Amino acid sequence: MGRPSYIEVHAKSVLNRVQGMPFRWSINPYRGCRHGCPFCYARRTHWFLDEDGIDGWTSRIFVKVNAPEVLRAELSRPGWAREEVAVGTATDPYQPIEGTYRLTRRILVALHDYRTPASIVTRSPLVQRDVDVLSALASRAGVTVCVSIATLDASLARRLEPTVAPPASRLRTVWTLARHGIRTGILLAPILPGLTDAPSNLESVAAAARDHGACFLWSTVLHLGPVTREAFFRFLEDYHPDLLPAYRDLYASKYAPPPYRAAVARTVERLKATYGLQADRAQDPQVPEQLPLLTAS
């Protein structure tokens, strides 16, 4: 990937109302993502604004430079009920440029100041930088951090997530956050047919989650909506052309067939029970004193 362009924009609003999800509000301080994952469902958000969601998703990244200030104004309204806010639902809030702009950190500080609980999804170890803010937010309002890991196979992960830290680094992040008392889990996602859906792969991630102090495991199977479908099929053509016929059969529509998804869900539920990663049983996870040795590739 070439050098990206970062376009500073001023947002009029940053709290987004969400429907059909476990949370009602979300915040995305950036649009576009340097991680470049071909399976990212959010690529279509570039398309909404006549931007290229295939190549432009990683090369033209929009930065909402006034997001923390706008958020404070929104949280100060009398009608704000301090409902949970999901940070990073359409782009990683800890992608590399966050190291420069620090928008996510300032957003978390605002949520803390207004006693608003939060959840975060990220693939980046940069989240460790904000362990002080996360600890304070956990005590004041509540926070959950979900670290995405689809496989422990470092070479496969490199192809799938070109600029993301390797799985072992992300597991260290889970351990670090858990050691600081922050509710942390792993998002086993997306589960990719023929690539990461083998029971042995799923179990290796579940076992590592338990060993690194995660208190829950969530999962989703790949879905291919507009734009993402083109990006992912291009990835398959480049790296796994042998899988193209199977994917054309499986993904005649946006979602894999229900029987396939049900089979994967049963496997994941069994693993969650085996490794104690069910959310309703995970209020006091066992976090090892020392960072575990990771034996997977």
**Given CA atoms 237, 60, 106, 11 in this order, what sign does their dihedral have?**
negative
Structure tokens, 108: 């978390």
The three state secondary structure string of 222-281 is CECCCCHHHHHHHHHHHHCHHHHHHHHHHCCCCECCHHHHHHHHHHHHHHHHHCCCCHHH
Q: Looking at the domain assignment, is residue 186 inside a domain?
A: yes
CATH of the domain at 97: 3.20.20.70
Q: Looking at the domain assignment, is residue 1 inside a domain?
A: no
Q: Looking at the domain assignment, is residue 295 inside a domain?
A: no
Q: Looking at the domain assignment, is residue 59 inside a domain?
A: yes
CA distance 73 to 264: 43
Q: Looking at the domain assignment, is residue 99 inside a domain?
A: yes
Q: In terms of DSSP bridges, do strands 118-122 and 143-148 run parallel, antiparallel, or are they unpaired? A: parallel
pLDDT of residue 284: 63
Domain span including residue 42: 7-281
Q: Looking at the domain assignment, is residue 296 inside a domain?
A: no
Q: Looking at the domain assignment, is residue 286 inside a domain?
A: no
Look up the pTM and report it: 0.91
Q: Which helix (H) or strand (E) holds 85?
A: strand 85-87
Neighbour tally for 83: CB within 10 Å: 11
For 42, 80, 93, 110, 201, the CA distances from 74, given in Å and listed in that order, are 24, 8, 19, 10, 43
Q: Looking at the domain assignment, is residue 294 inside a domain?
A: no
pLDDT of residue 280: 53
pLDDT of residue 282: 45
Tell me how many domains the chain contains. Answer: 1
pLDDT of residue 126: 98
Structure tokens, 104: 């996510």
* pLDDT (tens digit per residue) in 129-186: 999 999 999 999 999 999 999 999 999 999 999 899 999 999 999 999 999 999 999 9
Residue type, 151: T
Region of 198 please: left (phi>0), alpha (psi -120 to 50) or beta.
Answer: beta
